[in-house]
Amino acid sequence: MTVSGTEELPTAVGLTVYRIVQEPLTNVLKHAEASRCEVTVRAVDGVVHIAVADNGRGASSRTGAARGRDSSACASV
């Protein structure tokens, strides 16, 4: 897990970031069958960037995610 620039975030924003990260991590544990997962949270100029990537099986081969390849999602709040 890599976290940077979050020291000055308001408490409510920090809790929101926590919940946003919690959901994909839960999905990785329940569904991805991943052997690794990487979380990055970065706050820059009032914007929080969140990325969660794993090497699990992904949602569907139609989405381009396949076993052994990184699946990732990004969100800004």
pTM score of the predicted model: 0.73
Query: What residue has token string 């970065």?
Result: 42
Residue range of the domain that includes 66: 2-76
What's the total number of domains in the chain? Answer: 1
DSSP line for 30-67: III--S-EEEEEEEETTEEEEEEEE-S--S-GGGT--T
Mean pLDDT of 4-17: 94
> According to the model, what pLDDT value does residue 61 have?
47
Write the pLDDT tens digit of every residue in 44-76.
Answer: 998 999 999 999 987 654 454 445 445 555 555
| CA–CA distance, 55 with 59 (Å, rounded to integer) | 12
What 3-state class would DSSP assign to 68?
coil
CATH of residue 26: 3.30.565.10
Instruction: Check if the beta carbon of residue 23 is closer than 8 Å to that of residue 34.
Output: no
